[in-house]
Amino acid sequence: MNNFFKLKENGTTVKTEVIAGLTTFVAMAYIIFVNPNILGTTKMDTGAVFVATILSAVIGTLVMGLFANAPFAQAAGMGMNAFFTYYVVLKVGLTWQQALACVFICGIINIIITLTKIRIMIINAIPDTLKNAIGAGIGLFIAFVGLIDGKLVVQGSPMVDLGKIIEPAPLLTVIGLIITIVLMVRKVRGSIFLGIILTTLVGLIGQLGFGIKFGIAIPEHWTLVSAPPSLSPTLLKLDFPGLFSSKIGLVSVIVIIISFSLVDTFDTIGTFIGTSAKTGIFDEKNDKPTNNGLFPRKLDRALFADATATSIGALLGTSNVTTYVESTAGISEGGRTGLTSVVTAICFLLALFFSPIVSLVPSSATAPALIIVGVLMVSSIARVDLENFEEAAPAFLTFALMPFTYSISNGIAAGFIFYVLVKIVAGKAKKVHPIMYIFAILFILKFILS
């Protein structure tokens, strides 16, 4: 084990790696509850999504650990599952089977551009301003979804209004939000995961003990542990013919796939850059650093693991699988090698047998998790120079249009187009990477042909 994972070389031990793996799992286990809840809105079978969420996390995290020897865990990405559900399926009108086909193609594209180094080229071409604005915009989008799911925000006149807080569903959301915020402020490990569990318990006590209708469905013969639900309702249900014959048009399909790919890439590379700068996880002897300060051999393997996980997840029945920033929880506990990831994957596998718990969790318990994740993501806007109008204008359009138009891709498109436009008008056209012009033209075509 020491030789395979190079524990001594990385200054770690089996005990440290096991603790780190457990910590990472607890920090990101909330996805087991949240993902089926979100994707279930598209009429996907929630039991099958539960299994697909776990199996894709297990496979992706094992590939990361065994192939890349990196302490990062993977699972269905927050933001991408919301984009998949609320925009691609519920707004644009693709079926969930067609949306899964988009995700699968995204994964294949990411595999190809990773192997050909194009993925790094794209990352280098896109300015930090837009990367940070996209992260902030997705945060606002996720938080908005959480507010709606928790019924704190409802459709009003003319647009949206505050929900009736004293009603059971929004009241439970508020209670869950308070619980989670307290846990976060107290820096409790796995705050979001524990927040979901505690909020569900509050709901159960209120419903069973006081008759408050929190909307928790309790099966007649409920058990704590059971065999996993069937995966067949979502397994290999991708609809490629329907995707390319859809009424939305080929250009819009391409833009959706590009949006999936770009956001997946930003999430992953951002996590890698942030952690490697402090820990040197990607440092390897005889490797020359790339422009991002990362090291090619180990980075390429980690990016490959991330890309393959997305396609595998689509085949199983879930939205984009990506590298989780919550991996930093385990890394902060000393995790430095793939053994951390292997331990996390084992924890996910064991969770397969606790599906009855997931069936009890109401949307009012997962909504606070979405809001808190949104808060954490929106902080990236602080890295944008908002005093510089050339940077502020495209950044604002990027993160504002995502929640306001209920579309991540609209925000990305607007940001790319106006960034190029602003730089041309400012006489800085030569400083814009050619790839940015290509994307801007594609997004303009998307708006024209939509």
Q: In this predicted model, what pLDDT tens digit does every residue of 382-434 receive, in sequence order?
A: 888 999 999 999 999 998 998 888 777 788 889 999 999 999 999 999 999 99
Match 């569903």 to its residue by tokens: 169
pLDDT tens profile 91-134: 888 999 999 999 999 999 888 888 887 777 777 788 888 888 88
Least confident stretch, 94-98, 108-112, 185-189, 219-223 = 219-223
Q: How far is the C-alpha of 145 from the C-alpha of 122, rounded, in Å? A: 29
Q: Where are the beta strands (DSSP E) in 83-203?
A: 153-155, 160-162
Q: DSSP labels for 44-77?
A: --HHHHHHHHHHHHHHHHHHHHHTS-----EEEP
- Answer yes or no: are the C-beta atoms of 282 and 196 closer than 8 Å: no
* Non-local CB neighbours of 215 within 8 Å, separated by 6+ positions: 168, 169, 362, 363, 364
Burial of 431 (0-12, 13-18, 19+ CB in 10 A): exposed
Residue 418 confidence (pLDDT):
95
pTM: 0.78
Residue 141: name the closest of 198, 88, 191 by CA: 88
pLDDT at 321 exceeding the cut of 90: yes
User: Which sequence spans correspond to the domains of the chain?
Assistant: 2-381, 382-449
Q: What is the mean pLDDT of residues 211-218?
A: 76
pLDDT at 175 exceeding the cut of 90: yes
Q: Where are the beta strands (DSSP E) in 120-255?
A: 153-155, 160-162
Which residues sit opposite 162 in a β-bridge? Answer: 153
What is the residue type of 149? D
Least confident stretch, 85-99, 224-238, 318-332 = 318-332
Q: How confident is the model at residue 286 (pLDDT cuts 50, 70, 90)?
A: very low
pLDDT at 61 exceeding the cut of 80: yes
Q: How far is the C-alpha of 98 from the C-alpha of 95, rounded, in Å? A: 5
* Non-local CB neighbours of 349 within 8 Å, separated by 6+ positions: 54, 58
Q: How far is the C-alpha of 412 from the C-alpha of 399, rounded, in Å? A: 8
Q: How confident is the model at residue 52 (pLDDT cuts 50, 70, 90)?
A: very high
Residue 296 confidence (pLDDT):
52
pLDDT tens profile 260-274: 887 787 677 766 765
Q: How far is the C-alpha of 156 from the C-alpha of 147, rounded, in Å? A: 14
